[in-house]
Structure 1
């Protein structure tokens, strides 16, 4: 990564104010990418890490503030153990090997999701990277690991219910801001743009509350082939859309 931390790429025709503040991505198609090439599924995941690296680098160059990547869903535990073990090793390897790059490029790493089931040695490396980058002020890279949107919402409901039961919170005072503050993503803005690769037209239990008004962008390209040009195309398309948030578009004078 050779970009200048905090400086947006002036060669990109979409001005900074029209770029999404927060991009979320469902990184789909690693297995299919490998199978089409006669390779084991794990090779698709290996090449998918390179796509993660490219995407993070480009977000830094473009001055994107938040990037949330769906790394491992709570449903992925249904996959073969050998594949899950490989995915967790890849995650650990990535989080260790990229530390210095994160620091040099002012990237702050956060992780959302359940810790249960994640091996302790992987948790230690995640925690170390999160701690080392905690004071960074550039791109916030949010990794969703063992994450499920419904589980997140249930956890928020339980936390709010406990405060009500303890008399710390009145039911009449619960609003959207209260609920958002109890989600895993508390303190982060909602995604403006949701990217999904491999042509699937569903959100797969990802950030269900947060993507209520996100712009969706789907490509048939599998994640290992996702690159800087596709990311820029998604941002171009986003910039051309009119975001109404349930209201009416304002006609230009």
Structure 2
């Protein structure tokens, strides 16, 4: 992927509105440098700052970052505890820059299961940036795509059983309205998904929303994912013909 390492020019009129990133490879980045895994996570969180600014200045409207999955609890306790502390440190340190960049923070996931300090930091970040009107930085924290669909199905079934929802009226819009991305409105579905580290799978991320997303798999570990690599990924996206199941009128 990305054999050409030059930084291409982008068409400002065709910037993807919503970019989602699976930030993968922090542990392998650290191992390659004979460092503990938590050093990779720290470097990865520092890179969130860099890529957030680059995405905002590029004109992306929503940047969704897969920060912690529902499966990540299986990792060693020390690593999980460190990962839970990262949002606290990130928001405490980076908040002035987020406000200066006019970035609005949103957090989605099964937040009730997070440690109190993590929940409080996320809530404070949302409140402190609520008036910002620029790019939405949307963190997926303790998020799992299958769990999201189960919860949406359960909520829809409850409404139907209560008689407040006609089962025959259930459609795609009904499902979308019950997903965690519903706050994003028309921008809920990513135009482009990027996964770093060379792995090529979705890992239970935005399973409904990515039905027609363009996928780019970058070989760089997340701490090495630079604004130039982001630009090349967007250029790759711009070179594609998105047909959403239809055909090109010129075909």
TM-score, length-normalised on structure 2?
0.93
Report the equivalent of 1:87: 83
The reply on whether 1:169 has 2:168 as its aligned counterpart is no
**Secondary structure of 2:179's aligned partner:** coil
Distance 2:163 2:130 in 1: 33
Distance 2:236 2:245 in 1: 20
Report the equivalent of 1:107: 103
**Secondary structure of 1:137's aligned partner:** coil
Distance 1:251 1:54 in 2: 40
Distance 1:54 1:103 in 2: 15
Report the equivalent of 2:44: 48
More helix by share: 2
Report the equivalent of 2:231: 232
Residues 145 and 206, structure 2, Cα contact 8 Å, conserved in 1:
yes
Report the equivalent of 1:211: 210
Distance 1:74 1:15 in 2: 37
Matches within 5 A, 1:59-98: 59-98=55-94
TM-score, length-normalised on structure 1?
0.93
Matches within 5 A, 1:1-253: 13-188=9-184, 189=187, 190-251=189-250
**Secondary structure of 2:51's aligned partner:** helix
**Structure 1 unpaired stretches of 5+:** 1-10
Distance 2:183 2:120 in 1: 24
Q: How far did residue 12 of structure 1 move?
A: 7.6
Distance 1:28 1:125 in 2: 23
**Secondary structure of 2:182's aligned partner:** coil
Distance 1:97 1:26 in 2: 23
After superposition, the CA RMSD in angstroms is 1.4
**Secondary structure of 2:142's aligned partner:** strand
Distance 2:48 2:172 in 1: 32
- Which deviates more from structure 2 when the two are superposed, residues 90-99 or residues 219-228? 90-99
Q: How far did residue 60 of structure 1 move?
A: 1.2
Distance 1:201 1:210, change over 3 A: same
Q: How far did residue 135 of structure 1 move?
A: 2.0
Q: How far did residue 76 of structure 1 move?
A: 0.2
Distance 2:242 2:70 in 1: 31
Q: How far did residue 55 of structure 1 move?
A: 0.8
Distance 2:238 2:104 in 1: 25
How many residues in Structure 1 have an aligned counterpart in Structure 2? 242
Deviation beyond 3 Å, 4+ runs, structure 1: none
**Secondary structure of 2:138's aligned partner:** strand
Per-residue displacement from partner, 1:107-147 (whole Å, max 9, x unpaired)?
A: 11000100233111221111111011112110000000000
Residues 87 and 121, structure 2, Cα contact 8 Å, conserved in 1:
no
**Secondary structure of 1:24's aligned partner:** strand
